[in-house]
Structure 1
Amino acid sequence: MSLSSANPVLPLPQPFVKNTCEKGENVATYAHHSALRSGLPLGGIGAGTLEFFPDGTRGAFTGLNNWEKPLGQLHNFRSGPFGDYRVANPFAVWVDDGRDQPYAFLLQTLSIGTAPAVDGIKMAGLFPVAELSFDCGDIPLSIKMIAFSPFIPGRDEDSGTPAAFFRLTISNKGDRPLKVSAMASAVNCIGSWNVARYNEALSEGNLAGIIFRKDRPDPFDPREGTIALAARHTADTDTFICDSSPYVKKCFRDLAADDLIVAGWDQFSQSGSLPAGLGPQRLEGEFGEWIGAIAQRQRDPLLPGTSTQWEFVYAWHMPNHPNGHQYERKYPDAWAVVEDAFARFDELYQSTVSWQNSLVQHAALPDWLADALINNLYPIFSGSWWVRDGRFALLECPTHHPLLGTLDVHYYGSIPLALLFPNLEKSMMRQFAHYQLADGYIPHDLGKNRLDCPSTGTSAGPRWKDLCSKFVLLIYRNVLYWQDEQFLTEMYPTLIRAMEWQASTDQDGDGLPENEGMDSTFDNWIMSGVTPYTGSLYLAALRAAEECALRMHDPQNARVFHERFIRASRSFDALLWNGTYYRATTDNDCTICQLNGQWYAHMLGLGYLLPS
C-alpha cells in the first residue's frame, strides 16, 4: 500500500488568487491546492480561533490573546512554512491489511520528516463546520473528518467554548479486514518564550490526553495558560499517549520538512501505537519544541464495508487577559473544557448544524446566498472580545486596526449579532450609552485593544456627523427585533441626548447637519456642508426617534422629531437634487451608499424619507 508523492509546498497566506472550488450540492467545496488566505475558524465567541485549511493544516491560532498577531512562526529564530505553527498539529492514520507492510500517513497534503501525506483533500465549509474528504490513493480506505465548534443562536455560553472538535470516520472499502489506528498531535505553544514548556499526560474516566503547560508561569504574559488535546477512550480501542517528544532538529533560519519530527512516528508507522514519551520534562533550551500525540488503535480488524469513528478535542484556557474571559467563569483550565466538550459532543454538533440546515435545506434561498449568509458570520468568532464581567465587543480589524466596538462599522455588521445573540448586542449598546459624552455625542469606539478608553473618531478635525444617527437607528432596530420595551426604556434618555447633539450640528437653520471635513465613516474623505450620506442617516434617525417617543408615550418629543423630519426632508430635496439624482458633493458626484439612511428606513419599516 502506498500514496503518491504529495504537494511539498504549503500554501501559506499570500495575495489573493482565484480559488479552486467546485459547486457542491449546497456549498462550495475547496481543494487542497486552493490558495486561500484564511481557513475556517474554529473556536468560540471572545475565545480566539484556530483556522482549519483545505490542505488539512491548522494554524493562525489566536487563542493566546493574540488577535492582533495570529500565531505563525513558532520562534523568531525560524522562518519558512516548516517553521510555522500551521504544520505542527497533524492528524495521521495507520493501516495494516496483514499482507503488505503496514502504512501510515498524515491527513494533510504536506509531508513532515519521514511521514508521507495524502494525495489530496476536498473541504466543504459552512461556518463553523468543516467537512474534509481525503484521497488515499490505492489504499482501500474512505476517510472523512468533521471539524466544528459550537455556534448556537441564543446559547451564548456554549457558543463561547474555547475549543475545536474533530470527528474522524474511517471506512473499509476493500475486501480484506484492516487494522486501523488514528493519531492526533500538537506542539506546545504556551507562553511567549518556549523555555520552560512541558507536556503532561492525563487519563481520567474515559478521557485520555495531554495538557500543555509552562513551568513558572508569568502572570503578565498573555500567552500563558493551558492547552489540552484529548480523545475519548472506548472499550474497543487501545489508547497510547506520547506526552513529550522533540519536534525540531535544528534551531535557526529556514526549516525543511526533514528538520521536523512527528511525535512517535517510527513506532506509529509500524504498529499504530506510540512510545510513552519523555514525561513532563521542562524544555531547557531555546532551540527546542515539545510535541505530544495521542493514538487510538482498533482492537479488532475493521471488516470490509464497515466504519469506525474517533473523536478528538483541542481546547485552550488563557486567563492572562487584562479583562479576563467569559469562559473563565465556567472553566478553571483547558482540561475542564475538554471534559465538558466530550460530555456534550453530539448535542453541540447537532444544535450547530440544525440552524445551518434551516437555511441550506429549507429556506428558499439560492445556494450562493445561503453560503454567504452562513460563512460571513465568522467575525463573531474571530474578531470578538467577551470578557469576564460580561462586556462584549467586536473588533473593527483585529490585525490592522484593533478598535473595539467601532460604531460606524457595527451599524452595518451587527444585524446577525442582534438576531442570534441579543444579549451580546445589548452589552455593546450599553457600553456606548455609558460612554456618551456630556454634550450627547456618542463615541466612535470603546478603545484600542481595550474597552474603557473610547475615542471620538479616527480622523483629525471635528466630531463625526454620522455616529449619533447610527446609534439611534441601532436602538430602534433592536427594539423592533426583540420587542423589548425595557431595553427602550433603558436607552431612551441616551437617545434623546444623542438626537439633540445631532440637531446642534445644523449650522444654518436648514434642519440638516453640516459636514466639516473628515467627519464620517469615510475617514479621510473631506466633505463640507449638507451631504446625502449624513443627511439621509439623520432623516432615518428622526423617524426612528419619533417612533421610539411614541412607544415611550412622550408626545412632546415625538412632535419635535416629526417637525424636524419634515423640515429636513424638504431641505435635503431642495439642496441636493440636481434634476437627475441626489449629488454626493458640490461637484455632482454620486456614490452607491449616499442614501444609506433610506436603506435602514426600509429595513425598519419607516417608509420613504424623501418625496417620491
Structure 2
Amino acid sequence: MFLFVGVPIGGIGGTIGRGFRGEFSRYHLKPGIYSYTTVEANEFIVTIKDAADVTLFQSTLSTYKRSNKILSSWKQRLDASKCKYTGLYPRAWTEYDLSDYGIKLICRQVSPVIPHNYKDSSLPCAVFIWNIENISNEERKVTIAFTFKNGMSDLTSKSTPCSTQSFSYLDSSGVTLRNYIEKMPCTYALAAKLKDNMNVSKCLYFNPTSDGAEPWNQLYDDGNFSDLTKTETDEVYDEVGCGIAVQVKVAPGAVEEPEMCLVWDMPIVSFPEGVTKYNKFYTKYFGVEKAALKIVNHALRNYKDWELAIYKWQEPVLNDAELPDWYKAALFNETYFISDGGTVWFTLGEEESERLPVTDPRQKYGRFGYLEGHEYRMYNTYDVHFYASFALAMNWPNLQKSMQYDFKDYVFLEDHHRQRMWYDGKFAQRKIKNSVPHDSGDSNGDPFVLINVYPVHDVSEWKDLNSKFVLQVLRDYKLTMKFEDGSFGKQYLEDMYKACHVVMQKSMTFDTDHDGLIENSGFPDQTYDAWIMTGSSAYCGGLWLAALYAMVVIARELNKNEDENMYAGILEKAKTAFEDKLWNGKFYNFDCSKLASSVMADQLCGHWYLRCSGFEYEVFPKSNVESALNTIFENNVMRYKNGTSGAVNGYIFEKEIDTTALQSEEVWTGVTYSLASCMIYENLNSKAWKTIGGMVNLLTNRIGLAFETPEALGFKHYRSVGYMRPLSIWAVQLAWESQRKNSALKPTFPIEDMVEKPA
C-alpha cells in the first residue's frame, strides 16, 4: 500500500494526524480548521544500550525527510526498508527491525473510537504500546523517549504563555504542557504507566528551535533525561518543548511493553466569528478544569478494554472469508473521517439545555458536527451526509439522531438576510422557512447559529434536500429497531413528522405540471451542483418517489390515515409519470432534456435508500432496477478505464463519457460505494466488487490517498481530498449483512459487548 498519511489519533471531536513515516501532522485542534505542518519536535526516539551501558544505537523513530533547520542533532538512522506500517482504523502498528542491535520493536497506536460507546469515543487522547523484543543473547537496555512542543506548528505565536510541569498521578508519571491554540487554553500531557522494572525520566524544557543537542545527548549518554528545565512553573512566551523517557532492561529472548499516552485537553472552544463558547463532549465526564491527568489515568487503565471492543467490532468482517481483503481494510479505514473530518462534538449550553425537553437526544448525546471536507468548511452538509450517514447510523446512531434533531429544528428557522449567489449573481434569502438547509454553518464563522452558508445556489430551491431528510428519518427508524443501545422508536417519528410533512409540502411546489412528480429547474439544483438537470430527472425524481413512499410508511406507523392516503395517492400518480417520462427500456433517462441519453451512475439513489431501510420493490419495478444496474455497470464502470477506477457519474449510452459538466465526467467515490451497495441488494455481488475494487486499488495502491479519500476522481486528476461522502461504504456493509442474514435491520456486531459502562 502506498500512503501519504496514516491513521489519525484521538477520539471524536478533534484529532492529530500521524504520517506512516512517523510524523505528527494535520492537526485539527482549532475547530473545523486544519494545520498541515509536520512538527519536528513531536517525535519518538529509541536508544539501545548493551549490558555494559555502551550505546549501540540511537535514532528518531521516523523516516520522513526532516528540514535540519531545527533539531539538527536529532539523527534519523533507521533503515526505512526495515520498517513496516499497518493501519486499520482506529489502530496502527509500526514495526522497526533493529536486529543489527538485537532488538525488534513494534509500536501499537490505539485511539478510543468505539461504536456505541459515547464516553470513551469522545476522548482527546491516544495510547502507544511499545513491544520491545530482545532477540540477542545479551541483556539490552532500551529507552523510548517521547517529545512534544507547544502549539501545532514549528513556529507558534509568542503572544501567549506556556508552561510545563512534572506530575505523578496514580499509576502514571509524565509532563504537562499548558499552552494556547488560537487563544483557547490547551494542555498537552505526555505520560507513561509506572512499572517496577521501568524508569521514567522527564525533560521539562528544551528549545525546539535549537539544534536539540542537550536532550539528545542526555539520552545517548544515560538513556534518560536529566530533568532538563528552565523552571517548573514559570510561564514562557516562546517555543517550549518537553518530553518523557522510559528505560527498561530486556533480558535475552524477553519482551517488555512500555505504555505511553498523549492527551490534548482543550475543553472550551469557539469559532472565529462566533460569540458562543462550547464545552467539548468529554467534559460531561471529566469536567472543564484540569482534566488532562484524569484522562491519562482513564486511558492507561482502559485501553485494553478499548482494544477488545474494537476487535469485537471488526472481527466479524475480518474473519468473513467471502469478503475481499481489500474491502475489509477499506471499510474501517474510510471510517477515519468520523473523527478526522474537522469533527466537533459539544455538550449543550445551559440555556439551550433548559429550553429543550428532557427527552431530546441532544440532552444526553450533545451536538455533533463534521465538515463536508477538509477543503469544504461547511458543517453537516446535508445532501452529502445523506450518503455518509450510514457510518453514524450503524455505529454511533445517537450522533445521527442528534444531528437529525438539529435539522428538524432548522427546518422551521427563517433568516431574512440576503446574500448574492455565485452561480447567477442574484440575491437570495439565507434560509427559507419550512425547508431543509444545506448545512449547519461555516467553521470559520458561527456554525450551529448561522446556518445555510453555502453561497453558490439558492438551496431552498434544491430538489433533493427535503426528500433526503424524510428518507433518513425512515432509514434511522428501521435500522435502529434491533440496536440494544436504543431503538429510535415511534417517538422519533412523532418528533420528526411535522418537519417531514412541511418539507414535503414545500417540495410539492416543484411539481410544475401537476403529475405528482417534481421537476428540476434548469440549474444545478441538487448535490451535483455543477451538473444541470431539466424537467423531471432520474435522480431527484427517484428520491421524490422514495420520499413519498417513506411518508406513506411513517404516516401509517403513526396512524395518520388521512395523510397516508394523501401521500399514497400522490405516489401512484408520480410513479406513472416517472415511468412514462424517464424509463427507456434499459435505464432511467438522466432528465427530460437533450442530455437524456446520459446514463447516470446515481439514478437509483431513491431505490437504494429504500432497500437500506428494509424495503424491496414497492416503488421501483425489479425488472427496471436490474436492467438499470446492468446498464450502469456496462457503461459507467466497464467502459470507463476498463472498470479499474469506479463508476463515472455520467456516460452517454454505449458511446463516451458525458463531458457536459465537470461533475458528469468525474467518479464520485461515495456514489460508487452507494452504487455497489445497491448492486449487492440485487445480488449482483461480483459486479459490486468489481465496481469498487478498482477504485479502492487506485486510491490506496496507485495514488496514495488512504485516510484522505477525495470526493472526486477525474480522468487524470482528483478533487477535494478528505471528504465526507465516502463514509457511504458502510451502506455496502449493510447490504452485505442484509444479504447474508436476510435482514437489513440487524446490528453490525454484538452491541451488548460494546456499550459504555456506567460512569
TM-score bucket (shorter structure): 0.7 to 0.9
Letter in 2 for 1:320: V
Q: 1:233 aligns with which of 190, 194, 210?
A: 194
Q: Which position in structure 2 is the counterpart of 1:353?
A: 311
Cα offset, 1:600, TM superposition:
1.4
The 5 A counterparts of 1:365-444 are 365-383=323-341, 384-389=343-348, 390-437=365-412, 440-444=434-438
Q: Is the 8 A contact 1:283 1:289 kept in 2?
A: no
Q: Which position in structure 2 is the counterpart of 1:304?
A: 252
Q: Which has the higher helix share?
A: 2
Cα offset, 1:304, TM superposition:
1.1
Letter in 1 for 2:16: L
RMSD: 2.2
Q: Is the 8 A contact 1:263 1:291 kept in 2?
A: no
Q: Is the 8 A contact 2:170 2:297 kept in 1?
A: no
Q: Which position in structure 2 is the counterpart of 1:107?
A: 61
Letter in 2 for 1:98: A
Q: Is the 8 A contact 1:360 1:370 kept in 2?
A: yes
Cα offset, 1:354, TM superposition:
2.4
Q: Is the 8 A contact 1:540 1:606 kept in 2?
A: no
Cα distance between partner residues in 2 of 1:96 and 1:539: 71
Q: 2:217 aligns with which of 259, 266, 270?
A: 266
The 5 A counterparts of 1:191-230 are 193-195=157-159, 196-214=161-179, 221-230=182-191
Deviations 1:478-510 (A, max 9, x none): 000112222112112221222222222111111
Letter in 2 for 1:447: G
Q: Which shifted more, 414-423 or 599-608? A: 599-608
Q: Is the 8 A contact 2:56 2:101 kept in 1?
A: no
Cα offset, 1:607, TM superposition:
2.8
Q: 1:132 aligns with which of 94, 109, 118?
A: 94
Deviations 1:333-389 (A, max 9, x none): 322221221222222222223212232125742211111111111111012221121
Partner of 2:391, secondary structure, is helix
Letter in 2 for 1:595: L
Q: Which shifted more, 157-166 or 500-509? A: 500-509
Q: Is the 8 A contact 2:463 2:525 kept in 1?
A: yes
Counterparts in 2 of 1:232 and 1:199: CA distance versus 1, 3 Å: same
Cα distance between partner residues in 2 of 1:479 and 1:397: 24
Deviations 1:547-604 (A, max 9, x none): 1111111222111111111110110111123344321131222211122112112222
The 5 A counterparts of 1:533-612 are 533-585=539-591, 586-587=593-594, 588=596, 589-608=598-617, 609-611=619-621, 612=623
Q: Is the 8 A contact 1:317 1:334 kept in 2?
A: yes
Matched, 1:454 2:456: no
Counterparts in 2 of 1:581 and 1:492: CA distance versus 1, 3 Å: same
Q: Is the 8 A contact 2:164 2:205 kept in 1?
A: yes
Counterparts in 2 of 1:190 and 1:272: CA distance versus 1, 3 Å: same
Partner of 1:590, secondary structure, is strand
Q: Which shifted more, 439-448 or 230-239? A: 439-448
Q: Is the 8 A contact 2:96 2:106 kept in 1?
A: yes
Cα distance between partner residues in 2 of 1:305 and 1:413: 48
Partner of 1:40, secondary structure, is coil
The 5 A counterparts of 1:30-41 are 34=2, 36-41=3-8
Cα offset, 1:202, TM superposition:
1.4
Counterparts in 2 of 1:468 and 1:276: CA distance versus 1, 3 Å: same
Q: Is the 8 A contact 2:372 2:380 kept in 1?
A: no
Query: Which runs of 5 or more structure 2 residues have no equivalent in the other structure?
Result: 271-276, 349-364, 414-432, 482-488, 624-759
Q: Between Structure 1 and Structure 2, how many residues are aligned?
A: 547
Q: Which shifted more, 171-180 or 430-439? A: 430-439
Letter in 1 for 2:448: L
Query: Which runs of 5 or more structure 1 residues have no equivalent in the other structure?
Result: 1-20, 22-33, 73-83, 250-259
Q: Which position in structure 2 is the counterpart of 1:342?
A: 300
Q: Is the 8 A contact 2:346 2:368 kept in 1?
A: no
Counterparts in 2 of 1:605 and 1:525: CA distance versus 1, 3 Å: same
Deviations 1:259-306 (A, max 9, x none): x41661101112211121113365756xx52211111222xx421110
Partner of 2:21, secondary structure, is coil
Partner of 2:146, secondary structure, is strand
Q: 1:161 aligns with which of 123, 135, 146?
A: 123
Q: Is the 8 A contact 1:150 1:161 kept in 2?
A: yes
Letter in 2 for 1:490: D
User: Sequence identity of aligned pairs in percent?
Assistant: 28
Cα distance between partner residues in 1 of 2:537 and 2:101: 66
Q: Is the 8 A contact 1:68 1:400 kept in 2?
A: no
Cα distance between partner residues in 1 of 2:214 and 2:472: 52
Counterparts in 2 of 1:456 and 1:102: CA distance versus 1, 3 Å: closer
Q: Which shifted more, 306-315 or 596-605? A: 596-605
Taking structure 2 as the reference length, what is the TM-score of the superposition? 0.69
Deviations 1:197-238 (A, max 9, x none): 222111223311111113xx69xx454321111111211122
Cα offset, 1:150, TM superposition:
1.1
Letter in 1 for 2:244: I
Cα distance between partner residues in 2 of 1:190 and 1:323: 21
Matched, 1:277 2:231: no
Q: Which shifted more, 197-206 or 450-459? A: 450-459
Q: Is the 8 A contact 1:222 1:320 kept in 2?
A: no
